[in-house]
Structure 1
Amino acid sequence: MIKGDKYAHFWIEEGILNFVYKPNTVLDLDAAKAVVKARLRFQNGVSYPILCDVRMLKTASKAAREYLAEKGCFKALAVAIVMEDAYTGTLLKAYINISNPSVPTKGFSTISEALAFLNDYK
C-alpha cells in the first residue's frame, strides 16, 4: 500500500521501505520534520533499509539536510539515496562528510544499484 504526505510517497516492498519525493518538493526544516514524522508513523516501530529517491526533489536547506542526517535515520538500517548522475558525487559527499548520517548511506544513479546495496541490510 502506498502512503504519503504532501512531500513524498512511501511503501514497503520486499522488506525495503521505498521513499520517493514528489516533483518540485522544497524541504526546509519544518518539511523535513514532517517527512520524518510521517515515515516513522508509517513504519510503526519497525526498522527497515530505506531507498530514498530524491530525483524529483527541488532543493533542501542546510538545516533540513542536517536534521535528516541526524533524526531522519531513526529506524533505518541503511539508506540508499537515488539521485541524478550529475549530483551523485558532489552532493552526496557533502551530505555524508558534513552531516555524517548515523547509518550506512550511499548514493546511486539507478534504483537497481540502490536495491542491491540495501539487500545486505534486510
Structure 2
Amino acid sequence: MIKGEKYADFWIEEGILNFVYKPNTVLDLDGAKAVVRTRLRFQNEISYPILCDVRHLKTASKAAREYLAKNGCLKALAVAIVMENAYSGTLYKAYVNISNPTVPTKGFNTISEALGFLNEYKMR
C-alpha cells in the first residue's frame, strides 16, 4: 500500500488496484501527472483493473481530466469510478464524454457495483 502520496492512497487487493483520493483533493495538471507517475511506479509494469474512488475529490481541472483520460489509462485494463454526489457525477460525465478514456470506464455509486464490473477484467 502507498499511503504517503499527496493526492491518493493505492493498494492491490484480489487482482484489482484500488485508488482512493484523499479528502478535499484539488487536482490540477501537475497533480494529475504526479498521480499517474506514482501509480505506474507502484504497478511495476503490471496491468490491472482500477477502482478509482473519487468521493473525496473536491475538483479536477479540465487539463487534469484530459491528462487522466489519456495517460491515466496506461497499464489499466478497465476503470470503475466510484462517486457519490452530483458534483462528482458532473466530473465523471465530463471525463467520459469529453475526454474519451482509452479503456472501458464506468461510474458507480457503490464499491460493490464497481468491483462487479472490474471482476470481468481481472487477469486470470
**Which band: TM-score by shorter chain?**
over 0.9
**Secondary structure in 2 matching 1:55:** coil
Alignment of 1:17-36 (within 5 A): 17-36=17-36
CA distance in 1, matches of 2:89, 2:11: 27
Unaligned runs of 5+ residues in structure 1 are none
CA distance in 1, matches of 2:117, 2:87: 19
**Secondary structure in 1 matching 2:73:** coil
**Secondary structure in 2 matching 1:17:** strand
C-alpha deviation, 1:97, in angstroms? 1.1
C-alpha deviation, 1:11, in angstroms? 0.2
TM-score relative to the length of structure 2 = 0.93
Q: Is the 8 A contact 1:88 1:109 kept in 2?
A: no
Change (3 A) 1:88 1:22: closer
CA RMSD of aligned residues (A): 1.1
- Alignment identity in percent? 82
TM-score relative to the length of structure 1 = 0.95
CA distance in 2, matches of 1:83, 1:8: 15
C-alpha deviation, 1:72, in angstroms? 0.3
CA distance in 2, matches of 1:87, 1:58: 9
Q: C-alpha offsets along residues 53-95 of structure 1, whole Å, 9 cap, x if unaligned?
A: 0000111000000000000000000000000142465432221
Q: Is the 8 A contact 1:81 1:106 kept in 2?
A: yes
Unaligned runs of 5+ residues in structure 2 are none
Aligned residues: 121
Quote the residue 2:67 is aligned against: 67
Alignment of 1:33-112 (within 5 A): 33-87=33-87, 89-112=89-112
CA distance in 2, matches of 1:17, 1:85: 23
| Between 31-40 and 2-11, the greater mean CA deviation after superposition | 2-11
